[in-house]
Chain A
Amino acid sequence: MSFVVARRGIVLAALSLAALAPSTGFAHGPSRQKVTETIEIAAPAEKIWAVIGNFQDLSWLPVVAKTEGTGDNEPNKATRHITLKNGGEIDELLTKYDAKDFSQAYRIEKVDVKVLPVNNYSSTLTVKPQGDKSVVEWKGAFYRGYPNNDPPPELSDEAALKAITGLYQSGLAALKEKVESGK
């Protein structure tokens, strides 16, 4: 699956949700959700990895204002504190890193469900070489923002899926534009 139109409107709407329920740490609902989004980019994998391969630099992602962290790209040591343009904050831990296979995995250590309506979020970002092109794959697994049954609509499975799908689609579209335009 690939696409060309950036869907920034969706992710911004999702990220500015005014959720009422408190964040509840590791508690979560009964049904883990998954999202896989891919995009084809007309560039070698090395060139794309040069943009997204540094865990300490998320500047390629349009919703991000600032990335601060420590531990470089060392799995289970590297952390980053992300400030979004809307003021939301996310703490993440790098869990796997393989520059040879252009792949990194990380998880969210701390986020308010008002910022991103998910719990127990983990993700993998991989560049797959395909001749002189590449396919970038972004995968996530997570629970919805509401840890109990009968969630309010803004913290439902659907809201979590919409937020993450929108984030991945808009992020990958922006990456494609950045890499292919050479900016």
Chain B
Amino acid sequence: MTNQGSGDVTIVDLSTMSPVATLAIGGKPAGVAVSADGARAYVTSPEGKYLTVIDARGRRALRRIALEGGPLGLAVAPDGRRVFVADMYDGRLFAVDPETGAVVATAHVGVTPSGVAVTPDGRLILVSLRDADRIALVDAASFEKIGEIEVGRHPFGVTIDAAGARAYTANVESDDVSVIDLATRAVVATVKVGKRPYCVALAQGRGFVTDQYAEAVSVFDLSTLAPVGEVKVGEYPEGIGASRDGKTVYVANWFTNEFWSIAADSLQVVGKAKTGDGPRAFGAFIRAMN
């Protein structure tokens, strides 16, 4: 969990929902992404203008990689060899080699790039362009923008399903989720959710959406796109992620400094942990190898 107020990262053991380590990060950390093999976690500090490389097994920060602009959203390539970081202020997406710390490529994607996601085959990168109400498509090999898709107003988090078939954007200003078919690269549906949605997680054939102004997680069915229910959570829920087995969904409650777990089938809140101040956890923050 990136704690933007206290400037650190809390590592929580999901089996006990207990904090097990706190790492000083600085620079108002916000974005986070864990590599597919669970070895590394990467954290952006938009105010400090750097990316921190964390040894997720040893639970220690290894090094900082300086970046320009305002690094916020990020995603790790499936093979772990690149970290894609969006610069929210100057409209760029950086491809960072996490071992050497070099920015190996830069794509100009459009205004206020926010959430970043990569397809499971590693070939396509999606970047939400918040103030343009669009998603930018970036070809991972050439690292060039190859298209845009118009979505709802102010898309922030973007999530791709495990099959690489669909993507989901949380549209903060229009209070809905755009459902994108990745084969045709078109929006196929828009799902109404609660106020100020931040991010979408997928589990058990359901979409889970943090509604910042509603103290709630909206739940909808991924096949019918009909609402399933709403889970009351803490204040200003932001980052949300599912366990790899899809049984549990985890939510960062920014205002109340708590990390909650929710059973994806019964929608019951099953656990709570304390975090540092202002947990955002914007990105793929779940490392659990269950």
Contact = CB atoms under 8 A, between A and B. Distances in A.
Contacts of B72: 30
Contact of B131 (A27, A30, A34): A27
A32 B278 contact: yes
Indicate the size class of the contact surface on chain A.
10 to 19
B61 to A, nearest CB: 20
Given A31-B4, A31-B28, A139 B255 contact: yes
B28 A30 contact: yes
A106 to B, nearest CB: 11
B49 A32 contact: no
A132 B286 CA distance: 47
Interface string B251-290: 0001100000000000000000000001000000000000
Interface string B25-42: 000101000000000000
A30 B88 contact: yes
A148 B4 CA distance: 17
A139 B256 CA distance: 11
A32 B280 CA distance: 10
Given A141-B236, A148-B89, A149-B49, A30 B30 contact: yes
A169 interface: no
Contacts of A30: 28, 30, 46-47, 70, 72, 88
B154 interface: yes
Contacts, number: 44
A122 B254 CA distance: 14
Indicate the size class of the contact surface on chain B.
20 to 34
A67 interface: no
Contacts of B236: 32, 141
A33 B154 CA distance: 20
B134 interface: no
A149 B47 contact: yes
B195 A149 contact: no
A139 B255 CA distance: 10
Contact of B213 (A32, A95, A148): A95
Contacts of A122: 213
Contacts of B173: 26
B4 A32 contact: yes
Contacts of B89: 148-149
Contacts of A139: 255
Given A30-B30, A30-B72, A95 B4 contact: no
A35 to B, nearest CB: 10
Contact of A27 (B112, B255, B278): B112
A26 B131 CA distance: 9
B69 interface: yes
Contact of B5 (A34, A95, A107): A34
B214 to A, nearest CB: 9
B70 A34 contact: no
A26 B154 contact: yes
Contacts of A26: 131, 154, 173
Interface string B59-93: 00000000001101000000000000000110000
A95 B72 CA distance: 29
Contacts of B195: 95
A168 to B, nearest CB: 15
Given A27-B112, A30-B70, A31-B28, 4 more contacts: A32-B254, A139-B255, A141-B254, A149-B46
7 contacts: A26-B131, A26-B173, A30-B46, A31-B4, A32-B236, A149-B46, A149-B49
Interface of A: 26-27, 30-34, 95, 107, 122, 139, 141, 148-149
Identify the 9 closest CB pairs spanning chains A and B, nearest first. A30-B46, A31-B28, A149-B70, A148-B89, A31-B4, A30-B70, A34-B255, A149-B89, A141-B236
Interface of B: 4-5, 28, 30, 46-47, 49, 69-70, 72, 88-89, 112, 131, 154, 173, 195, 213, 236, 254-255, 278
